[in-house]
Amino acid sequence: MMLVKNVVRSLLFSVFMRNFLRWVIGIRIGDNSSLKTCPQFIVTGNHNSHLDTMAILSSLPARRLKHVYPVAAADYFGRTKLMSLLSRFFINVILIKRSKDGSGPNPIEVMDKALKEGKSIVIFPEGSRGQPEDMQPFKKGIGILLVNHPQIPFIPIYMEGLGKALPRGEGLLVPFEGRVEIGEPTHIQSDWTVDQVVQFVESKVLELKNRSKEV
Amino acid sequence: MKSILGLSPEVAWSLLGIAGVLTFFSILFFIWKIFKPHAPLKELIDRTKSWWVIYVLFVGTIFLSKTVAIIAIAFLSFVALREMLSRLDFRFSDRRAMFWAYLVIPIQFYCVYISYYRLFIVLIPVVMFMILPFRNVLTGEVKGITQSTAKLQWALMLTVFSLSHIAYLLAIKPPQGFTAGNEAYILYLLFLTQFNDVLQFIWGKLLGKHKIIPKISPNKTWEGFLGGLICTTLLAYFLRYLTPFTVTQSLIAGSLISFSGFAGDLNISAIKRDLGIKDMGTSIPGHGGIMDRLDSLSYTALVFFHLTHLWTVP
């Protein structure tokens, strides 16, 4: 069963989705060598579109897919039993609840546990997808996670254009050129506070914005 | 006359000639690089490499079969349209109309496939001309609707409408006694267009003094323009065996390709100036985006097609 799942997911993301994004939507995926070599990591990306998760999973080398778990909100990806089953199977998603009242498991604890099990995770520290192509300030969660696990590096990813291809609340996919820039695995200093870490991660993601334009 | 690998001898020899020119430049830059390792050749070498890729893709698609050629040109115009729509700063509410603009591509090229000229020639300038603004009106977002609608129609004309004429060259009924094959039309058009670009550039570099429109393109000089015009017209004369044209017709075709190529080039340059960007995209290393390479072709394709249609279709 695991083998079937791995093969299906490799075909889906590394073959179908990658080429679909590249040729139909027009998304260029940058150099992904940092995702190839780093054993465990937290991917931190900016969030514009449902395509973001697809784009990050498509950026992964096929054999790394099974180690990487995107973290997503249960109120969307877990709307129905079927939806949560499908997203667990295909996307490997870890569902978290965005509840204000604190009911259910604490999202940070869920992610902590995943990291302790040796999983790599993908998170979007802006929380929800904001206005298309407009980066929101990062939330604290990423800071807490990295302070708890200073030995795990984060890999910043900057995505552009995907929010134009499939913005929030839209069901119609329209081709629009964009890019996925993948940064280097970066460790934080162990004496940093949560806020410092959040700012650092945010600046690393923003740094990538100007990368390919300079070349 | 015998055909070579399914190609008419005229086409086969021309392709061989182009491969020769590319080989010459590849070797030239290679040797130049050995003797002067620090010469700023990267862009030229990248360009030559891209030309090889374009050449191989061109030969591998246009001459494989008519169907493959039409699909390849349809895909090219899709990428070109996507590039334009991604650069031209559309509003969020234009997405629906943009989607319709993409949808017209398969219909336009299906018209080419079944040689349905009546619809082919009106689909974008007449039908879409009415549908796109209407779709935009339906969104109810009026702020900036004039610009959006104009940009969308213009982008569609420059990319899909124009490039589909290259494909339609394959669907024109050739006059009796013309043996080079319809692919030869495409070869003639592309070769003259691209050669004109390069020749204007070279003459401009060699003799260029008097700038034509420095605000838009500082590299365009009268010397380059006239040098390109003369050379391209001569080349059109010498390569006229690829067409059923008379001597006069080939001279007219050559000079009009040179003129319109120049205009098409400036047209895209002006857009880039306006947007404050150097290239329209990053699809082709050394060349920039698709429309950076197809700028002149977006005009010459229309001019050449209608000349050919006028002179050969009764």
Predicted pLDDT at B24 = 92
Predicted pLDDT at B68 = 92
The ranges assigned to domains in chain A are 2-214
Name the maximum alpha-carbon separation found in chain B. Answer: 64
Q: How far apart are CA A97 and CA A107, in angstroms?
A: 7
Q: Which residue has the higher pLDDT, A4 or B73?
A: B73
Q: Does B96 touch chain A (CB under 8 A)?
A: yes
Residues of chain B found within 8 Å of residue A176, distances taken between Cβ atoms: 82, 85-86
Q: Is the ipTM of this complex over 0.90?
A: no
CB A126 within 8 A of CB A136: yes
pLDDT category, B91, cuts 50, 70, 90?
very high
CATH of A2-214 among 3.40.1130.10, 3.30.1240.10, 2.60.40.1190, 3.40.720.10: 3.40.1130.10
Pick A175's closest partner by Cβ from B92, B102, B281: B102
Residues 6 or more apart whose Cβ sits within 8 Å of residue B179: B1, B8, B10
Residue of A nearest to B100 (CA): A174
Least confident interval from A66-70, A157-161, B214-218: B214-218
C-beta atoms of B86 and A132 within 8 A:
no
Predicted pLDDT at A214 = 40
Residues of chain B found within 8 Å of residue A174, distances taken between Cβ atoms: 95, 98-99, 102
Predicted pLDDT at B243 = 94
Pick A177's closest partner by Cβ from B92, B102, B281: B281
Predicted pLDDT at A132 = 65
Residue B123 in tokens = 């689909």
Pick B86's closest partner by Cβ from A161, A167, A170: A161
CB B223 within 8 A of CB B186: no
Least confident interval from A124-138, B155-169, B182-196, B218-232: A124-138
- List phi, psi (to 5°) of B191: -65, -45
Residues of chain A found within 8 Å of residue B83, distances taken between Cβ atoms: 26, 177
Question: Does residue A32 have a pLDDT over 90?
Answer: no
- List phi, psi (to 5°) of B36: -125, 80
Q: How far is CA B77 from the centre of its chain?
A: 10
Q: Which residue has the higher pLDDT, A213 or A45?
A: A45
**Pairing label, strands A178-182, A120-123:** unpaired
Least confident interval from A99-108, B42-51, B136-145: A99-108
Q: pLDDT tens-digit profile of B121-163?
A: 999 999 999 999 999 999 999 999 999 999 999 999 999 999 9
Predicted pLDDT at A97 = 79
Q: pLDDT tens-digit profile of B253-263?
A: 999 999 999 99
Cα separation values, B83 from A107, A114, B89, B155, B167, Å: 40, 41, 11, 9, 20
pLDDT category, A134, cuts 50, 70, 90?
confident
Q: pLDDT tens-digit profile of B159-206?
A: 999 999 999 999 999 898 888 889 999 999 999 999 999 899 889 888
Q: Which residue has the higher pLDDT, B118 or A31?
A: B118
Predicted pLDDT at B1 = 46
